[in-house]
Amino acid sequence: MRSSDVLNPASVAIVGASSDPERIGGIPIATMLQQGFAGELWPVNPARSDVQGLRCYDAIENLPAAPDAAIVAVPGALAADAVEALARRGTRSAIVFSAGFAEAGAAGAELQQRMVRAAQASGLRLFGPNTIGLFNAHAAYYPFFSTAFERGFPLPGRIGIASQSGAVGSQIFNIARNRGMGTPLCITTGNEADVTLGEAIGWLVDHPGIDVIVAYLEGLRRPELLLQALEAARRARKPVIVHKGGRSALGASAVQSHTAAIAGDDRLFDVVLDEFGAVRAEHTEQMLDIAYAAARRIYPVAGTLGVLTLSGGAGIQMSDAAERAGLAMPQMDGGSQQRLQALLPFASPVNPIDITAQSLNDIDLVGHFAREVAERGGYEAIAVYLAGVGGSLKKGPVLRRSFADVARAHPDRLWTILTTADREAVAAYEQDGLLVFEEPARAIHAIGALARFGRAFARPEAPALSQAMSPATTGAPLPATVPNEAEAKAWLASHGVACLPEALATDAQAAAAAAQGMGFPVVLKIVSPDIAHKSEVGGVQLDLRSAGEVRSAFAAVTAAVARARPDARIDGVLVAPQIADGVECLVSVHRDPQLGLFAAFGLGGIFVELLQDVVFRRCPFDEAAAHAMIAGIRGAPLLRGARGRPPADVDALARLLSRLSVLAHRHGERLRSIELNPVLVRPAGLGAWAADAVIELAAAGSGETRPCENR
């Protein structure tokens, strides 16, 4: 369904219509009458013949025609009855204000399912239940119950709001309006029995009157629709700023009770936003800061910032903020510095360019500095700190005209004025194409977000993954039952994932013979699908340098495991070469129940367990993306040859990581996870080898998962 179908109906039925403009069933009618909705309004209430001056109908069946849209403001089972009746009439969309459905327990969930079944059978799109609705100021369409409009209606502008929470969506609108920001479209989705936040964002992307989208969400239903909408927004160069609740354990619990949703893994959500070029905000104020700046539609791809300031202290603060925001502040060139110094000997002409408050004795100097910074600095974004002077009654207008003149001459630059001023003065700056912030750090953070948008918009389309990348079509099929470690490695090796050569031995003599064949030193490890951590039960022996040591170690390992886990099934003992020159890494893939399959990469040992130095990426991906993952961890210098170590075989590691991502992607949802820990990355040219393998599968014929062989 297109945005025009849900946001521009020609006729609207109001089920549960009220003559009281303060009640839920009366607010939308009063609002649309006041704002001049051009379509038909058909109240439905069996107890009334007229509602707010409109003819009222006693039943949906008696409406003059099938309404394009409907508002449902009756409780519980009556709401389900109404949706069924609307579906029979052929209504295209219904907004269900009523609460007490899936968010309230099993009985409510069944009522909600009644509505969904009726809607799906007829093609009716269902908003909610438990939503406060939506609005489209362009069409004076306000199926929205809230006190938000008591202090004013949406201002002209090009920012759209999508929110799972109706109250939060209304609050975003209120704050934006108070800041003078235009948000003519707002969609809240409530329980998302049918229409999801992803679809709402997609409709805003499609709408020609929207350039910037702000979204609040708590949990994800049909996440594939959200991903599609985010990619559509990136291709359309429409920024999406997301505030997500449920980051903390307590917040995630509240999400479940509020919208009957699952919050999912918050780290993976950040990975998805970054992949699709959306930006996450920590709170509403930050979200609207970014949206306000993004409405200028200037995106500093290279992220270069020039700072012109009346205060050295403010320049320092802005430099600190720029570093946190990932913005570069290159210095002015030597010739420019000399010219600026000649104009104002006590100025600091580097970057930040500090002209001090004394420059205000000759305001023309400020304009000269601004022109030099714009013409010679090459900065994509320029922030000017004016303190309170920018809002002064006498000097403020003069300064504004100076910067406006320079901004008009350089329309491709993002100009931000940092000052305290009244709303009228701020509006004057904005009319001249200048952003205005009071607080420097907030401004710099917003500029940094715009740079991230710019890079995402400029990113070329990723090439399709070649069939040749994945040996999945020729490798062994996914095991029918849980494999032990040896079986898991054999399966991985059949798909081109490099695993250390090893042998499975069932007696001490066979273990010694295998060790002699591969060369000493070797490692022995117990193989059992019932033992999660082999070293904790004495199931590992290291640095064995002779056949005798191997035979003794075999006896020691099997005896220790028998004592610690007499119930465990033992498939034998693995004999593997011990690699001394490898960097230990963790490589894994894991299927998130909402967002799908992700790969993780990090260094092994304490870097994973204590420092959490791990990066994630959605599967599948190519070797170039794998290289970027490897470079993205803090410990990457260890692989590049830090402290005299030889450089590791990063190319082989990237090949293994990419190949694992592709083969996992191609084997479907029954494959829940694969963990290779450690992967031993040897010096350049010697390869990267999985030394251990853990696979988790869903049990055949059910959604249950079972872990297989662990370390």
Query: Is residue 453 included in any domain, yes or no?
Result: no
Q: Last residue of a domain, which of 540, 556, 574?
A: 574
Query: Is residue 253 included in any domain, yes or no?
Result: no
In this structure, the answer to whether residues 271 and 207 fall within a common structural domain is: yes
Query: Is residue 484 included in any domain, yes or no?
Result: no
Which residue ranges of the chain lie beneath pLDDT 70?
1-4, 247-264, 462-473, 605-607, 609-610, 700-711
Q: Last residue of a domain, which of 69, 101, 133?
A: 133
In this structure, the answer to whether residues 165 and 192 fall within a common structural domain is: yes
In this structure, the answer to whether residues 105 and 240 fall within a common structural domain is: no
In this structure, the answer to whether residues 559 and 510 fall within a common structural domain is: yes
In this structure, the answer to whether residues 97 and 122 fall within a common structural domain is: yes
In this structure, the answer to whether residues 8 and 112 fall within a common structural domain is: yes
Q: Last residue of a domain, which of 546, 574, 602?
A: 574
Q: What is the pLDDT of residue 611?
A: 72
Q: What is the pLDDT of residue 168?
A: 96
In this structure, the answer to whether residues 351 and 231 fall within a common structural domain is: no
Cα–Cα distance for residue pair 463/473, rounded to 1 Å: 20
Q: What is the pLDDT of residue 4?
A: 67
CA angle 200, 59, 95 (to 5 degrees): 10
Q: What is the pLDDT of residue 609?
A: 67
In this structure, the answer to whether residues 569 and 589 fall within a common structural domain is: no
Query: Is residue 485 included in any domain, yes or no?
Result: no
Query: Is residue 458 included in any domain, yes or no?
Result: no
Supply the CATH number for residue 202's domain.
3.40.50.261
pTM: 0.88
* Token pair of 29 as six digits: 């009618």
In this structure, the answer to whether residues 319 and 429 fall within a common structural domain is: yes
Q: What is the pLDDT of residue 481?
A: 84
* Token pair of 402 as six digits: 């100076």
Find the Cα–Cα–Cα–Cα dihedral 341, 347, 352, 356, rounded to 10°. Answer: -150
Q: What is the pLDDT of residue 655?
A: 97
Name residues whose C-beta falls within 8 Å of residue 18's C-beta, 6 or more positions apart in sequence. Answer: 24, 25, 26, 29, 45, 51, 73
Name the burial class of residue 464, with classes exposed (0-12), middle (13-18) and buried (19+) by CB atoms within 10 angstroms of its CB.
exposed
For the stretch 349-378, pLDDT in tens is 999 999 988 888 888 889 899 999 999 999
In this structure, the answer to whether residues 559 and 599 fall within a common structural domain is: no
Cis peptide upstream of residue 678 (ω within 30 degrees of 0) = yes
Name residues whose C-beta falls within 8 Å of residue 619's C-beta, 6 or more positions apart in sequence. Answer: 589, 596, 597, 598, 599, 661, 662, 664, 665
Query: Is residue 300 included in any domain, yes or no?
Result: no
Q: What are phi and psi of 237, to 5 degrees?
A: 60, 45
Supply the CATH number for residue 660's domain.
3.30.470.20
Residue numbers of the domain that contains 350: 305-443
Query: Is residue 644 included in any domain, yes or no?
Result: yes
Tell me the pairing of strands 185-188 and 134-136. antiparallel
Q: What is the pLDDT of residue 642?
A: 76
Query: Is residue 69 included in any domain, yes or no?
Result: yes
Q: In what order do the strands lie in the sheet with 125-127?
A: 40-44, 11-15, 69-72, 93-96, 125-127
Supply the CATH number for residue 79's domain.
3.40.50.720
In this structure, the answer to whether residues 322 and 279 fall within a common structural domain is: no
Q: What is the pLDDT of residue 352?
A: 96
In this structure, the answer to whether residues 182 and 290 fall within a common structural domain is: yes
Contact, 293 vs 285, CB < 8 A? Answer: no
The number of distinct structural domains making up the chain is 5
